[in-house]
């Protein structure tokens, strides 16, 4: 479970869209990049991936932008990390199956499962709620 910049930015973007989910207007890329110091063209790449997943919807032209197209209670950080992040490398000694390698693989899997269990509980809506409790800024209309 390696959290690359790509994954982090994807999560930031999804959270920003979740915050303005009830609002009607789409969110422009600029709004997100300005707020978080993310390189614009890089975020474009990432949003394309998110759109391909069906998680966001894009509106072109003036006043365009992006909108969340899924229920924020159903998407977790785990979903984003696994969809956007690089594929798990997989066991290198696959096929050899020495007792030691097999047992080690179990340990790595156990450790990864523990991580996944945490991230799988972190829904977008849950996190949005938390950040809005934390600081009292107003995002809702």
Partner DNA sequence: AGATACTTGACTAAAGAGATCATATTTATA
Partner DNA sequence: TATAAATATGATCTCTTTAGTCAAGTATCT
Site residues (vs ligand FES, CB under 6 A): 8, 91-93, 101, 104-105
Q: How far is the CB of 132 from a second copy (least distance, A)?
A: 8
Judged by phi (left if over 0) then psi (alpha if -120 to 50, else beta), residue 81 lies in alpha
- 101: contact with DNA by CB under 7 A: no
Q: CB atoms < 10 A from the CB of 16, how many?
A: 19
- 99: contact with a second copy by CB under 8 A: yes
Q: How far is the CB of 11 from ligand FES (least distance, A)?
A: 8
Q: Which residues bind a second copy (CB under 8 A)?
A: 1-3, 5, 8, 11-12, 15-16, 35-37, 77, 92-93, 96, 98-101, 103-104, 107-108, 110-112, 114-119, 122, 127, 130-131, 134-135, 137
Q: Which residues bind DNA (CB under 7 A)?
A: 2, 4-6, 26-30, 39, 41-42, 44-45, 47-48, 51, 58-66, 85-86, 89, 92
């Amino acid at each position: 479970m390696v959290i690359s910049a790509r994954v982090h930015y994807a999560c930031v973007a999804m959270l920003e869209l979740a915050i303005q989910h009830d609002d009607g207007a789409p969110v422009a890329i600029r709004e997100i990049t300005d707020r978080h110091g993310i390189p614009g063209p890089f975020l474009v790449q990432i949003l394309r991936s998110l759109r391909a997943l069906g998680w966001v919807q894009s509106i072109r032209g003036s006043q365009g932008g992006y909108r969340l197209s899924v229920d924020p209670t159903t998407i977790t950080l785990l979903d984003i990390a696994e969809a956007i992040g690089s594929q798990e490398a997989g066991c290198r000694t696959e096929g050899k199956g020495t007792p030691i390698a097999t047992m080690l693989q179990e340990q790595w899997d156990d450790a990864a499962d523990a991580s996944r269990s945490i991230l799988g509980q972190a829904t977008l809506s849950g996190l949005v709620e938390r950040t809005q409790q934390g600081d009292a800024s107003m995002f809702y209309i």
